[in-house]
A and B are shown apart, each in its own frame.
Chain A
């Protein structure tokens, strides 16, 4: 009996160690490749420990530090403001949907649910944002079009539905306004859910390059991800043209791509652990409720 337990434990541990290595190694690899010199990569391929240590890729990125810093600034602004606004609006949208005494509850839910299945498409969206909202070259265009996620709103509604109705009724009897109930009772009680979708939104905003690609034509308002995307795009373009053109642009190198990846994803790796405890709780609570 005891032996079986030990074996089981060893097996579980081994399994988990392998799983975590599988998750961890690619990151180590990316970091290592970004710190290897280009000639080292060509000679020895990718390796977990830099074969020829070099900072050339990072020097290349930061040779024009203003662009990187401004890209960090834009991305940070979009992530912070975008997340705050989107969580606030989604919470305000999800709360009435969670109240069983709200008459239009089903209609509103359907309205949100509908957007999860169908969307207007890219071109109408583009026309709406540029022509009717006039947001071209505007920082709002970087997060407004992706502010509300139907899925996250539904998720939040489930958390809010778990707030006891009697609590809300009691507050009501005490004379609290709807706003007061919302901000002082419902929001604190669905903290786990709110932090969970906040993390989703942080990732969405941090990783988004598409809005910048579509809506920013002039100026330096580049998001970090779009900078990275542009470097990759340059490589693809050059490949597509191949030797067709007499003049070729020089391709960015392997280590540069990995370094850009580190620069873009690094801050998220630091932020993630702070959310983590809520995150796992959020997922399980949601599961039980569903």
Chain B
């Protein structure tokens, strides 16, 4: 007993010593960038990452150690707090929040680096976009080129057009209220209510002419048409009251489901092709090609009955970015690698789709079909310039040009380039978020509006929503004056 245990202990220790030698950094004096990427670990990702590193070595003279970090929330703060070496990092308005990162001094200002070391990357975006991503006057991240114009809309199953005899061309479908006839038709046809998942969350308020200032559910919006840029509490506007009243009335009249439903719930109710699918869903972004992607994910044809005019805001620009560690050992090489990800289709598509012939086959110059046997999927929007991505079956050949056109044509948010400093209102923001979550059912019209609405507003006030509004008003006026 004693001997076996002793031997075992020695073995374990020996194993540790052996395995401890396997460091990967900077072999033979060669520079290696460390990139904590918000991408997936796939069965063949090690080979793909190796190939990417080899290509980078060839093109810009540095190897890249790509670490597929799926749990950004859990791990990145620890890595940053421990001062561990890394060069490139994913940051956004949600995961690994860019504003917090800038506050904590984690990110390197990129202004000079971009102009000097990565001119092609600098050229990629107009001055306007770079202005939009500035925080405190400096650029801290390179946005991943994608749909910047957030234009929410309402989406219906394509088969309903025929099954319900809808006339999308000549009927006005602009606001949610316009869909009353749609749900009435569903009720007539199926004898039951339709399903309407939440329509207010995310960019929903944009359909009512609001632009969020500090995150979609936190009190604090401006009216897009209001030049004075006055920040108001969206939950106290007539629009919000009308919205919940409308949904409550529909629930009472049996037009929509009295239970909470999610988009995932409803899109799985498949029916035969000539039958009615009893739902309508809200989508945050009706980008060109979004129907094709929806079909790919859900195997279902959908049509946007309402598309709102897109809006380019700072919030949408920083929604997915690449940034450089302020303690990076090779900032110049790092920005060059980010440039590669954004300007070199070969390296980008390798990362996004894997190896040609194994993970996908080319069906045209830029079109591909994914392999059904070897799966390799990565979120294209978290890697680089999505305009360089190969085109999937179902997407228009000129989908990227269409997206670019939408971006260019979209209305600019009146507060493009304004980045709120959340530090003085941190507590209030957290409190208000909790209240809004608690009353999510109210916005879906499945609470008793008469009693719940006043209680909701009262709780928001207690949570400090007025302080948020006042602080944001102060910051926006200061920002406006400095422009």
Is the CB of A67 closer than 8 A to any CB of chain B? yes
Query: When the two chains form their complex, are residues A123 and B284 in contact, meaning their CB atoms are under 8 A apart?
Result: no
Q: A88-B9, A135-B16 are known contacts. Are A234 and B40 too (CB-CB below 8 A)? A: yes
Residue A243 lies at the interface, judged by CB distance under 8 Å to chain B: yes
Most B-side CB within 10 Å, residue of A38, A234, A242, A249: A242
Task: Report which of B22, B84, B379, B403 forms a contact with A249, defined as CB distance below 8 A.
Answer: B379
Closest Cβ of chain B: how far from A248's Cβ, in Å?
6
Tell me whether A247 and B202 are in contact in the complex, defined as CB-CB below 8 angstroms, given that A140-B12, A214-B75 are known contacts: no
Q: Bits for A198-237, please: 1 = Cβ < 8 Å to B, else 0.
A: 0000000000000001100111101000000110011001
Taking the complex as formed, is B356 at the interface, i.e. its CB lies under 8 A from any CB of chain A?
no
Which residues on A sit within 8 Å (CB–CB) of B16? 135, 138, 140, 144
A243–B203 CA distance with the chains assembled, in angstroms: 9
Cβ-based interface call for A127 (8 A): yes
A180-211 CB contact bits vs B (8 Å, 1 = yes)? Answer: 00010001000000000000000000000000
In the complex, A193 Cα to B31 Cα: how many Å? 53
B259 at the interface (CB under 8 A from A): no
- Give the chain B neighbours of A218 by CB distance below 8 A: 24, 46, 65, 67
Q: Is A244 an interface residue (CB 8 A)?
A: yes
**Residue A4 lies at the interface, judged by CB distance under 8 Å to chain B:** no
Min Cβ gap B43→A in Å is 5
Q: Are A245 and B202 in contact (CB under 8 A)?
A: no
A138 and B19 contacting across the interface, CB-CB below 8 Å: yes
Q: Is B101 an interface residue (CB 8 A)?
A: no
A126 to B80 CA separation, bound complex (whole angstroms) = 11
Interface 0/1 of A64-101, CB less than 8 Å to B: 10110000000000000100110010000000000000
- The residues of A that contact B83 with a CB separation of less than 8 Å are 127
Minimum distance in angstroms from A254 CB to a CB of chain B: 10
A144 to B79, CA, bound (A): 19
- Tell me the nearest residue of chain A to B379, going by C-beta: A249
| Secondary structure dominating the interface of B | loop
Q: Is B272 an interface residue (CB 8 A)?
A: no
Tell me the bound Cα distance from A159 to B203 in angstroms.
61
CA–CA, A38 and B299, complex, Å: 14
Residues of A with C-beta under 8 A to B475: none
Q: Is the CB of B67 within 8 A of A217?
A: yes
Pick from B15, B78, B285: contact of A246, CB below 8 A.
B285
Asked if B426 CB lies within 8 Å of chain A CBs, one says: no
Q: Which of A88, A135, A230, A251 contacts B41 (CB 8 A)?
A: A230
Report the bound CA distance from A229 to B73 in whole Å.
13
A218 to B9, CA, bound (A): 26
Encoded as 1 (CB less than 8 Å from any B CB) or 0, chain A from 4 to 29 comes to 00000000000000000000000000
Give every chain B residue within 8 A of A217 (Cβ-Cβ).
Answer: 67, 69
Residue of A nearest to B373 (CB): A63
Given contacts A243-B285, A247-B379, A247-B381, contact A183 B1 (CB under 8 A): yes
Could you tell me the distance between the alpha carbons of A122 and B1 in the complex, rounded to whole angstroms?
A: 36
Given known A39-B270, A122-B78, A244-B319, contact A250–B297 (CB-CB < 8 A): yes
Per-position binary interface string of chain A over residues 117-160, scored 1 when its CB falls under 8 Å from any chain B CB and 0 otherwise: 00000110011001100110111100010000000000000000
Cα separation A84 to B9 with both chains bound (whole Å): 9
Residues of B within 8 A of A234 (CB): 40, 70
Q: Which of B111-119, B163-171, B287-295, B411-419 contacts the other chain?
A: B287-295
Q: Tell whether, in the assembled complex, residue B94 and residue A240 are in contact, meaning their CB atoms are under 8 Å apart.
A: yes
Given A126-B78, A183-B2, A213-B74, residue A81 in contact with residue B377 (CB < 8 A): no
CA distance A233 to B285 in the complex (A): 23
Nearest-neighbour CB distance to chain B for A60, whole angstroms, equals 10
A247's partner among B8, B22, B380 (CB-CB below 8 A) is B380
In the complex the two chains form, what is the Cα distance from A122 to B75 in whole Å?
11
- Checking B9, B24, B268, B293 against A85 with a beta-carbon cut-off of 8 angstroms, the contacting residue is B9
Q: Which of A240-279 contact B (CB under 8 A)?
A: 240-251
Would you call B2 and A219 a contact (CB within 8 A)?
no
Verify B82–A130 contact, CB threshold 8 A: yes
Residues of chain A contacted by B403 (CB below 8 angstroms): 246
**Complex interface: chain B residues within 8 A of A44 (CB):** none
Identify the closest chain B residue to A244 (Cβ).
Answer: B284
Q: Note all chain A residues with C-beta closer than 8 A to B43.
A: 64, 66-67
Q: How many angstroms from the CA of A51 to the CA of B436 in the assembled complex?
A: 37
Per-residue CB contact flags for chain B residues 367-393 toward chain A (1 = under 8 Å, else 0) read 000000001010111000010000000
Contact with A along B301-337 (1 / 0, CB 8 A): 0000000000000000001100000000000000000
Residues 24-36 of chain B, each 1 if its beta carbon lies under 8 Å from chain A, else 0: 1000000000000
- B320: chain A residues at CB < 8 Å are 245
Residues of B within 8 A of A247 (CB): 293, 379-381, 386
B481 at the interface (CB under 8 A from A): no
How close is B477's CB to chain A, nearest CB, in angstroms? 29
Given contacts A213-B71, A214-B78, A234-B40, A179 and B287 within 8 Å (CB-CB): no
Let me know if A230 and B12 touch, CB within 8 A.
no
Instruction: Report the bound CA distance from A222 to B40 in whole Å.
Output: 14
Nearest-neighbor residue (CB-CB) of A222 within chain B: B41
Bound: A12/B9 CA distance, A = 49
Question: Are A246's CB and B19's CB within 8 A?
Answer: no
Name the residue in A39, A187, A243 with the highest tally of chain B Cβ atoms < 10 Å from its Cβ.
A243
Given contacts A66-B43, A229-B71, A237-B95, 20 further A-B contacts (CB under 8 A): A38-B268, A64-B375, A67-B43, A85-B12, A130-B82, A131-B84, A134-B20, A137-B19, A217-B67, A218-B65, A219-B46, A230-B41, A230-B71, A233-B71, A237-B70, A243-B202, A244-B202, A244-B284, A246-B289, A247-B380
- Ranked nearest first, the 7 interchain pairs of A and B with the lowest CB-CB distance are A243-B284, A42-B268, A246-B287, A140-B16, A123-B81, A138-B19, A217-B67
Residues of B within 8 A of A (CB): 1-2, 5, 8-9, 12, 15-16, 19-20, 22-24, 40-41, 43, 46, 65, 67, 69-71, 74-75, 78-79, 81-84, 94-95, 146-147, 150, 152, 201-203, 264, 268-270, 283-285, 287, 289-290, 293, 297, 319-320, 375, 377, 379-381, 386, 403
| CB pairs A–B below 8 angstroms (19 shown) | A39-B268, A42-B268, A66-B43, A123-B82, A126-B82, A130-B82, A130-B84, A134-B23, A137-B24, A138-B16, A213-B71, A214-B74, A214-B78, A218-B46, A234-B70, A240-B95, A242-B202, A245-B319, A249-B377
